[in-house]
Structure 1
Amino acid sequence: MSITRLASAACVCAILLTGCSAPKKVPYLVDAETIPRESLAAVSTVKDPIFVQGDLLNICIYASDPTAVAQFNKGQYLTPEGAISKTSNNTNTAGTNTTSLTDYYLVDAEGNIDYPVIGRIHIAGKTKEQLAREIKDAIYPRYIKIEPTIDIRLMNFRVTILGQVKSPGVYQSDNERMNILEALAKAGDLDIRGDRENVLLYRTNADGTREVHRLNLHDKSLLLSPYFNLQQNDFIYITPNRSAAASAWQMHQGWTTAISVVSGLASIAALVIGIINLNK
């Protein structure tokens, strides 16, 4: 058999082997159906976000008598006639009312918000339930005799996704929660160069500490991981796989070689010009 035929046969075998092994590298959560139901049920899928510095909160207090709680709702006040009025923080664009950011509470660098009547409240590290209970205990029954209902919404739950995805960017959730798969779906999924076994998660906690974790999208145990569900301001980086890294290195080497050749030719040209000038 000629060398050419041997080379062709080797190429065909390599392609076939690659074709057989590739599908095992592409699916997410391989064999996830084998995880016992008891294990999945033991994992909490819904968690209230923990407030951190920079969060924007929308806090509304309701009662059977709206005038009793108006003073505790940002942007509302009672007129001399006893009616509820709202400050003009809303803007109207093309006939649509848009809520201004000044209608929300911004958690400052110390983890506090300034609340009407109550004053400063430290909320960093607390959940919605804990904050609602604290506000309720502060106003009832001291200021109002009707037990209120308190609704708290986190308005800027968002994660950042960069690296080997089709649409990197900052993505926001309207329901205060997002898991790693939902985040990747928003970014258009990984591209062909993304390393699905080496996804980096950077997280800043409410106390200022930072965590870095590596996630494997092929591994079914990701569903049981405490990092499957994301927290606000999480940063996800999709690292390049080996082929992407190799391509980048080859390109770098190509540019280095080209620059070296051009530099060498320039030096030779300068030398030749110098010799010609000496002979004149």
Structure 2
Amino acid sequence: MNTVYVNGEYVPQSDARVSVYDRGFLMADGVYEVTSVLDGKLVDFDGHVKRLWRSLSELDMAAPVTEDELLEIHRRLVELNNIEEGGVYLQVTRGAAPERDFAFPNPDEVPSTLVLFTFAKNLVGSPAADKGIKVISIEDIRWGRRDIKTVQLLYPSMGKMLAKKAGADDAWMVEDGFVTEGTSNNAYIVKGNKIITRGLSNDILHGITRAAVLRFAQEAQMEVEERNFTIEEAQQADEAFITSATTFVQPVVAIDEAQIGDGVPGKVARRLREIYIEESRKAAI
């Protein structure tokens, strides 16, 4: 049975408890991060912590521990649960006020809730990376602060289910005619040697894997263009792919049943995946 971390204690997952008054449960008043684990080490930990601090700051939410303490908790959970490949999920909420109220509780009186748990997952040898995934397009009707990694994930979950019902693997969301991102990932197309992805703004999550992959692409002399693109442009691209902490770089081979390129993972996505895994293993802590 896995060990999880709840508010300063390491407990069996069956004994893990938070209050029914916790605002993460009642209001989705919380943020989260997922850090991948390769070879028992943490990938891009510094980037995930920096984004966590930003999310907390944007929501005026108190950080429950320091960065050093957070690193120690991650490492201990990985060790306790013998995770060689997989990830660590972290969630911070505004805590459990004595009563349900829309107004934020006083942080001096109501401490934040901090929960972490691990999961094992085959990240490197992913079958989906070998064959590619199919996506559908759906309207993006989420709130306007998608740059904050909140636990408000109902619509992305609905998007995943719409994709499943359509015989696809995921959905790309579209707003004002342009792709924003996938349900739990950033979206890209490739034309020639040029990688095209939407620029950073409040409209999309500032992906940690995205930042690393774009940096590696530029170091490999690949051209990167950050701009909006449409589903129609994506369908006519040479390649398409997604990035996230637990998929790394994953090729997309069809969008709304239209085949992308040759209908198989392209050379740019495959090469970027190789580079990302290689460099992540070197830099993991």
TM-score bracket, normalised by the shorter chain, equals: under 0.3
TM-score, length-scaled by structure 1: 0.23
Greater Cα radius of gyration, structure 1 or 2: 1
Which is strand-richer, 1 or 2? Answer: 2
- With normalisation by structure 2, the TM-score equals 0.23
Q: Which has the higher helix share?
A: 1
